């Protein structure tokens, strides 16, 4: 599974490349994101351990695998992660709006102490 994740990192889609350029190096609210991270039997496109957030970018093939995606999301949610999905075309055409939606999720996700993260950047 790790080798497959490594291959995915090397062969990013345009949307994944664009998103990674804006998430890497703690650019969004000082959150540390990882890309193509294995979690159980799945690989998350982008993972932030604090606040346990997974960001998935879906291309056209996902329209045909909605049941698989739902089961996958349910598994990840049972593991304590919040899963947020965006279509590739949203990232490519409305990146600022996608990043704002992610920022709102992070800000409004309770910390382990039960408090919101608040504005950091």
Domain CATH number, residue 64: 3.40.960.10
Tell me whether residue 121 is in a domain. Answer: no
pLDDT of residue 61: 66
Residue 80, pLDDT > 50, answer yes
SS3 letters across the chain: CHHHHHHHHHCCCHHHHHHHHHHHHHCCCCCCEEEEEEECCEEEEEEECCCCEEEEEECHHHHHCHHHHHHHHHHHHHCCCEEEEEEHHHHHHCHHHHHHHHHHHHHCCECCCCCECCCCC
Task: Give me the domain span that covers residue 65.
Answer: 2-107
- Is residue 32 included in any domain, yes or no? yes
- pLDDT at residue 14, as a whole number: 94
pLDDT in tens, 2-43: 786 777 777 799 999 999 999 999 999 999 999 999 999 999
Asked whether residue 120 is assigned to any structural domain, the reply reads no
Q: How many domains does the chain contain in total? A: 1
The pTM is what? 0.84
């Amino acid at each position: 599974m790790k080798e497959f994740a490594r291959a995915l990192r090397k062969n990013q889609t345009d949307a994944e490349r664009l998103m990674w350029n804006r998430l890497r190096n703690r650019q969004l609210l000082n959150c540390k994101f990882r890309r193509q991270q294995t979690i159980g039997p799945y690989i998350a496109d982008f993972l932030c351990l604090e606040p346990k957030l997974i960001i998935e970018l879906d291309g056209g093939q996902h329209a045909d695998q909605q049941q698989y995606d739902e089961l996958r999301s349910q598994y990840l949610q049972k593991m304590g992660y919040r899963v947020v999905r965006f279509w590739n075309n949203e990232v490519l055409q409305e990146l600022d709006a996608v990043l704002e939606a992610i920022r709102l999720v992070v800000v409004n996700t309770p910390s382990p102490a039960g408090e919101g993260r608040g504005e950091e950047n």
